[in-house]
Structure 1
Amino acid sequence: MRKTNYPIIFSLLFIITLTSFPSLPEAGKPSDLYSEAAVVIDARTGEVLYEKNAYRTMYPASITKIITTIVALEEAGLSDDVQVSFDAVNVIGSRVYLLEEEILPLEQLLHGIMISSGNDASIAVAEHIDGSVKAFADRMNAFVTEKVGVENSNFTNPHGLFEEEHVTTAYDMARISAYAMGNEQFREIVGTKSLDWKGEGWETTLYNHHDLMRQNDHITGVKNGYVRRSGYTLVTSAFDGDTEVIVVTLNSPSRLFAYNDTNKLIDYSLAEYETQVLSLADEDLLTNHIIPEELAVTTRRGEDIKYEVREEGEIIVTGKGNRKIAHIDLEKRYLTDLPSYIIPSDKETTVVKKQEEPIKKSIALWFILSGFNKVFNR
């Protein structure tokens, strides 16, 4: 991962009218997955590209640490000194072998969580932020509900060790992961393939447990997991040009099967779909509103698209054969904490201009966006 700062391009998750929309293509859709549940979403638009039991309640295992890390990044300081407790040192499962009363910076512990799946580091971070695992779990649940907007998850710990009430869905984890990947610091942490670790107890080199990252340069993260009751769980981000997808597989019978399923879903989704960006900069009637100049939509790969703004305050995006891609009602806009997004490649964004024929337009007042040009600094 490069060390330079990237501008943050905010991704708008629009309320889209779903009725009467033709389905996206099914050609080549995988049908023989080993994983009990799986989903693929466009990281920038949130559109579901594939799903198998995506809304079924499942046990997440260590992909829980995605939430732990993004919560810590947004609600604590990377330079915070974190003191390790007795409870952290004595947790079971994967560890980075912290010592009781050892003090390490939060940033190092987050690397230990996401690269080497340290359960001890997860507890240390949780206790540092909220004083207890229980209080931090409450924060996790509020965070994913209020900031990400998912509703079918319940987290009771920061590491993912099995607890009956510690549950999620493939879809929720995809949405949470897309949100997290919009944070530059998170993206750099999960994109780290190896790290020299120096602690009071030992010095070693940590290697990222997500093995696919060493096999495919288009994979940018994010986390694997396993406990007996959950099976093998895996969240993966992968890109092709300006298109990035999030793939989640849950309860695979082995790590190899999880990787095979994930590779199939990456190949399928990036071959069939792409993210295109509509330019709103030349919309004269939008100049009096504080609005984004670009709108991302998911399309068939290589599909020519266009849009029109209707008198009733709607934007209609269409593709080949006048296929409706999106129906955006400006009068129903409302402001939420929208996830940011970083384009993972050096290629210029594909921008589609509006269609040239005259269109009668009358736009209702949209919403005010604050902090739109946020940039994360080192």
Structure 2
Amino acid sequence: MAGISIGFAVWGSVCPEQDLWQGTESIAIESSRPVSEAKPQLSLHSLSAVLMDADSGRILYGKDEHQVRPMASTTKIMTCILALELGNPEDFCEISEKAAGQPRVKLGAPTGSRIRLKDLLYSLMLESHNDSAVAIAEHISGSVEVFTEKMNRKAQDIGCVDTTFLTPNGLDAEKQNADGEVIRHGTTAAELAKILHYCTKMSPKHDEFLTITRCRSYSFSDSEGYNTYSCQNHNALLDMTQEAVTGKTGFTGGAGYCYAAELSDGERSFILTLLGCGWPPHKTWKWEDVQKLYSYGKQNYFYCDFAFEENRLRIPLLGGAYKDWIYAVSESPGQKRSFHLLVSETERPVAEYDMKTILDAPVKAGDEVGVVRYRLGQEEIGQSHYCSEEDAAAWGLSYCLQRILDFWIF
């Protein structure tokens, strides 16, 4: 049987009671409320928004963050990172008739021209050119359809369950699946933040991604040198504050103004995403929402150190020879499990002990007894596995004879 108990860390360390989980019932743990309910509501223009700790990926604030919405050209964040991971930036991509026929905003390269993949990625992320997105997709995968399948698989791999990519450029799109259900190109504010977190922190190509998206201007020519192109970064936040790390704007008639960005004050880094942040003529509303979210993060979240002592724990032993208890230890007995966390003044991590309440003999040293899960709100931030410290034999005939002999002799 297993019992569950919790211990709290303070600014220093806490020592959990050794027999806290004894008994046959579990202590229920009250789960944190969803982000949208637990946090004070900011006055935002965006229909959906998220503020995320860029280091841990933990959502610190959300407004309707799990609602699926179209995301316009923030789609190109995934297009870019996938092309960086799968392609050779020095390869030349041929502009197809389909690519050349994409609507504005576009690079305007003529059908048949050849442009380096690297150059098209700057066109994609700085100017948000729709034809460059299609040319990249066709070069990497042979067709837009196959490339978007890879986009969806990548999204699933990084934990996105409500994101659907139908285009590599983010134009509003929908289609029917085999069951007749209408599927729309879209994501959630929470999952868009997760995608950007992957691009800037986890992808093996995160440095290349940041180099492209931080660039203010870029010029290049096609393979023959016939046409030269110049790109300017439309992420105005790069010029508004030195704390801007990266970002991507977007707009379609269906999506409204969208935005995804990372900002850092040198110690703390935040990712924020906005979906449906107004329609024309309210193009600047997104900068107001960015300021509110970023200010909220900097005013309410600070790094703190927490520690839990991993004690030697005593568990009852049933049917044991010569002993009624056995001790369990973690991988680092007697040590402290430490965490450096970005938290608000009211947040504390907890240790959830999920241990067997009774062990049946025989037990071997190293047998798993239970696990301690360290949590901050809804997020699991670590685990410690506990195992039996020593062997414990079960009583049998030889043990009974020895006990009888001991009784009569002593």
Shared topology, TM-score over 0.5? yes
- CA–CA distance in structure 2, aligned partners of residues 326 and 86 of structure 1: 48
Structure 2 equivalent of residue 171 of structure 1 = 190
Structure 2 equivalent of residue 269 of structure 1 = 297
Higher strand share: 2
> Pairwise mapping of residues 74-93 of structure 1 onto structure 2 (< 5 A)?
74-93=85-104
Structure 1 equivalent of residue 344 of structure 2 = 300
Pick from 191, 200, 219 the counterpart of residue 214 of structure 2.
Answer: 191
What is the CA distance between 1:32 and its match in structure 2? Answer: 1.7
Structure 2 equivalent of residue 4 of structure 1 = none
SS at match of 1:232: strand
Structure 2 equivalent of residue 228 of structure 1 = 253
Flag the 1:28–1:174 CA change in 2: closer, same or farther, 3 A: closer
SS at match of 2:185: coil
Note the alpha carbon deviations across 1:206-265, whole angstroms, 9 max, x for none. 211111111111011120000111110011111122321111111122221111111111
> Pairwise mapping of residues 79-228 of structure 1 onto structure 2 (< 5 A)?
79-146=90-157, 148-164=158-174, 165-182=184-201, 183-199=206-222, 200=225, 202-228=227-253
SS at match of 1:255: coil
Pick from 22, 40, 61 the counterpart of residue 51 of structure 2.
Answer: 40
Flag the 1:35–1:295 CA change in 2: closer, same or farther, 3 A: same
- CA–CA distance in structure 1, aligned partners of residues 248 and 283 of structure 2: 12
SS at match of 2:70: coil
User: Does the alignment pair 1:313 with 2:371?
Assistant: yes
Amino acid at match of 2:172: F
- CA–CA distance in structure 1, aligned partners of residues 47 and 343 of structure 2: 27
TM-score for the superposition, normalised by structure 1: 0.71
What is the CA distance between 1:329 and its match in structure 2? Answer: 5.9
Flag the 1:317–1:53 CA change in 2: closer, same or farther, 3 A: closer
Give the conservation status (yes or no) of the 8 Å contact 1:313–1:329: no
Flag the 1:136–1:296 CA change in 2: closer, same or farther, 3 A: farther
What is the CA distance between 1:22 and its match in structure 2? Answer: 8.7
**Structure 1 residue runs without a partner (length 5+):** 1-16, 319-323, 332-360, 365-378
SS at match of 1:313: strand
Flag the 1:243–1:194 CA change in 2: closer, same or farther, 3 A: same
What is the CA distance between 1:187 and its match in structure 2? Answer: 1.5
The structure number with the bigger radius of gyration is 2
Superposed CA RMSD in Å reads: 3.5
SS at match of 2:386: coil
- CA–CA distance in structure 1, aligned partners of residues 207 and 69 of structure 2: 29
Give the conservation status (yes or no) of the 8 Å contact 1:126–1:132: yes
Amino acid at match of 1:161: L
- CA–CA distance in structure 2, aligned partners of residues 309 and 297 of structure 1: 18
What is the CA distance between 1:19 and its match in structure 2? Answer: 3.6
State percent identity of aligned pairs: 25
Flag the 1:80–1:273 CA change in 2: closer, same or farther, 3 A: same
- CA–CA distance in structure 2, aligned partners of residues 100 and 52 of structure 1: 43
Structure 2 equivalent of residue 252 of structure 1 = 277
How many residue pairs get aligned? The number is: 307
SS at match of 1:298: strand
Flag the 1:208–1:304 CA change in 2: closer, same or farther, 3 A: same
SS at match of 1:247: strand
Give the conservation status (yes or no) of the 8 Å contact 2:52–2:270: yes
- CA–CA distance in structure 2, aligned partners of residues 201 and 259 of structure 1: 39
- CA–CA distance in structure 1, aligned partners of residues 168 and 116 of structure 2: 18
Flag the 1:22–1:212 CA change in 2: closer, same or farther, 3 A: same
Flag the 1:192–1:18 CA change in 2: closer, same or farther, 3 A: farther
What is the CA distance between 1:30 and its match in structure 2? Answer: 5.4
Bigger drift between 268-277 and 235-244 goes to: 268-277
Give the conservation status (yes or no) of the 8 Å contact 1:30–1:265: no
Higher relative contact order (CA closer than 8 Å, sequence separation 6+): 1
- CA–CA distance in structure 2, aligned partners of residues 363 and 95 of structure 1: 61
- CA–CA distance in structure 1, aligned partners of residues 257 and 283 of structure 2: 6
- CA–CA distance in structure 2, aligned partners of residues 133 and 139 of structure 1: 10
Amino acid at match of 1:190: T
What is the CA distance between 1:193 and its match in structure 2? Answer: 1.7
Give the conservation status (yes or no) of the 8 Å contact 1:61–1:226: yes
SS at match of 2:193: helix
What is the CA distance between 1:72 and its match in structure 2? Answer: 0.9
**Structure 2 residue runs without a partner (length 5+):** 1-27, 175-183, 312-328, 356-369, 389-410
Amino acid at match of 2:200: M
TM-score for the superposition, normalised by structure 2: 0.66
Give the conservation status (yes or no) of the 8 Å contact 2:137–2:168: yes
Give the conservation status (yes or no) of the 8 Å contact 1:187–1:221: yes
